[in-house]
Chain A
Amino acid sequence: MSGPVDGSVVHLVGAISLIQRFPALAGVDLEVRTGEIVLLRGPNGAGKSTLLRLCAGLAPLSNGVGSVLGHDLTVREQRRRVRRETGLLAHQTFLYDDLTVEENLRFWAAANRVDEGTIEPVLDRLALAGRLRDVKIAGLSAGQRRRASLAVMVSRRPKLWLLDEPHAGLDQAGRDFVDDLVKHAVGFGATVMIASHDVHRATDLATRTVTVAGGLVEDEGQDPPEDRADRSAASEHINPDGTDPDSTDPDGADPDATGPDGPGPGGEADSDSTEQEGDRDAS
């Protein structure tokens, strides 16, 4: 058995994670080092969210070797430390519907033992400081909830950021802000893992891309150069003047968006990415 090397933030060998009785992760090998921004791509149901939850210490490590930030995921005490030191932006917001934005942030700040003073600037930057501050979460739009959830996560100052579809449901400014946050966090020594279907944006941000499918991880390393060129050309085609690619996506009625099964055997990265665009829009 190989242990994590120095500078290793996520170290998984043959990691299996069972959700109910279903092997959502079926033997993942993954190594993430400090300061990396790793993009996880893959079709719906590939296991991206479970992989992030495993790294957060929430999904069980049913078999295999796994350590995060040097803490062994199989040991209960150490898993608790993993939870404290990581930040998860999940599909679920972890917010209380009947509390206002500010009350939620104050509660979670106290729960996370964060100084309440730090939430003001975060509220400001996420455009939650004005009228929205005193609105109940139940009265917010999906994108606004996501901002509030992000605010809670950021205020935790985690060492490992686990972002599940961070761009989904956010407007242009919100997406830019997410990207800025990620770069900023890495500048301060954090490590980031992003699961995203917004390939254009996320690949620009990421230092490495990893494909998840069938509960396994395929490390692509740096994208092949010709692939990358193709993609940026495509991106210019879709997005000539810097508007939100998703709002003007010509593939809106994407014939590729056939189903959740993702690429067939030997599916190429390129056809892959268009398919995920379709997926993303559908959600």
Chain B
Amino acid sequence: MLHDALLMAGKDLRIERGSRVVLGQILPFGALVLILFGLAISPDLTVLGTDRRSVLAQVSPGLFWMAVLFSALQALNRSFAVEAADGNLDGLKMAGLDPAGIFLGKAGTVTAQLLVLEILLGAGAFLIYGAPLDSVILLVVTVLFATTSITSAGTLYAALGSGLRVRDTLVPLLVLPVLAPVLLAATLATDAAVFGPAGDGWSWALLLAVFALLYVGIGMLAFGPIMEET
């Protein structure tokens, strides 16, 4: 299983190295979303009684995770478009790769790509929205578990849509409601990590950890039945 996971991940990373879709297209897309949020919510709006902190800075954790979610949808789409291009899923079935391994490999690659994207976007959000930073550890833990949750649930649902002409429209409909609690928990935990007090955020980070474990588990179990016949 681990062999197959590493094989798939290595292959997907090599494809990214050759095509630069995530770095060259999805990352700028995410940055663009962040900027557009800034335009939609005027940076001049301030909240009374909060040291004249701008509304934009106040809601930046949520906006950041929304941008990550949108980018994640794109990255997941790309991840499965690669397999659908020339019947490659059939090839994987013929090779008899372990479905759980395929799941881990594909989810792992998207996780790695998303982490890079989050670091860059996060730095951007930090600059654009002018948010402070209270607890680095909480932020790192939150980012790790939230990203794993998004990619594991996302990979599972992207596979549910694989081989379909309506995949592009179906997958967001299926995956976004599921990620609602992740968005919620990630936003609140990030909020606590950025504005403090960090103590408030740890329970949300814990929820994210539970969610990540749950979805990695479900994905490994469910990938077999989904992949079996397409």
Residues of A bordering B, CB below 8 Å: 56-58, 60, 76, 80, 83-84, 86-88, 90, 92-100, 103, 107-108, 110-113, 136, 152, 156
B-chain residues with CB within 8 Å of residue A87 when the two chains form the complex: 94
The answer to whether A96 touches B228, judged by C-beta atoms less than 8 angstroms apart, is no
A sample of 23 inter-chain contacts (CB < 8 A) reads: A56-B94, A57-B93, A58-B90, A58-B94, A60-B229, A83-B95, A84-B96, A90-B90, A94-B87, A94-B91, A95-B88, A96-B15, A96-B85, A98-B18, A98-B82, A103-B14, A107-B10, A107-B11, A111-B92, A112-B95, A113-B95, A152-B91, A156-B94
Q: Are the CB atoms of A76 and B228 closer together than 8 Å?
A: yes
Residue numbers in A under 8 Å from B10 (CB-CB): 107
Complex Cα distance, B15 from A58, in Å, reads 26
- The A-contacting residues of B in range 151-175, CB under 8 angstroms, are none
Chain B positions within 8 Å of A, measured between CB atoms, are 4, 7, 10-11, 14-15, 18-19, 82, 85-88, 90-97, 228-229
Question: In the complex, A94→B87 CA distance in Å?
Answer: 5
> Do B87 and A83 touch across chains, with their CB atoms under 8 A apart?
no
**Chain A to chain B: the 8 pairs with minimum beta-carbon distance, closest first:** A92-B87, A94-B91, A111-B95, A98-B19, A98-B18, A98-B15, A84-B96, A112-B95
CB pair B86 A94 closer than 8 Å: yes
A84 closest partner in B (C-beta)? B96
Point out which of A57, A94, A95 has the most chain B C-beta atoms below 10 A from its C-beta: A94
Give, as a whole number of angstroms, the nearest-CB distance from A160 to chain B. Answer: 12
Q: Which chain A residues border B88 with CB–CB below 8 Å?
A: 94-96
CA distance A83 to B91 in the complex (A): 9
Interface hub of B11, B14, B91 (most chain A Cβ within 10 A): B91
Query: Given A83-B94, A111-B7: A95 and B19 within 8 A (CB)?
Result: no
Q: How far is the CA of A100 from the CA of B19 in the complex (A)?
A: 11
Tell me whether A108 and B95 are in contact (CB under 8 A): yes
B87, A93: Cβ atoms under 8 Å?
yes
Alpha-carbon gap, A84 to B228, bound state (A): 14
A93 touches B14 (CB 8 A): no
Residues of B within 8 A of A152 (CB): 91
Looking at the assembled complex, report how far the CB atom of A19 sits from the nearest CB atom of chain B, in whole angstroms.
11
* CA of A83 to CA of B116, assembled, Å: 37
| Contacts known (A96-B88, A98-B15); A111 close to B97, Cβ less than 8 A | yes
- CA A152 – CA B94 in complex, angstroms? 12
A88 to B91, CA, bound (A): 9
* Most chain A beta carbons < 10 A, residue from B7, B95, B228: B95
B228 — which chain A residues lie within 8 A by C-beta?
Answer: 76
Contact status A110-B94, CB under 8 Å: no
Chain B residues with Cβ below 8 Å from A90 are 87, 90
Closest to A79 in B: B228
* Cα–Cα, bound, A97→B88 (Å): 10
When chains A and B are docked, how far (Å) is the Cα of A245 from the Cα of B21? 44
Report whether B82 and A92 are in contact in the complex, using a CB–CB cutoff of 8 Å. Answer: no
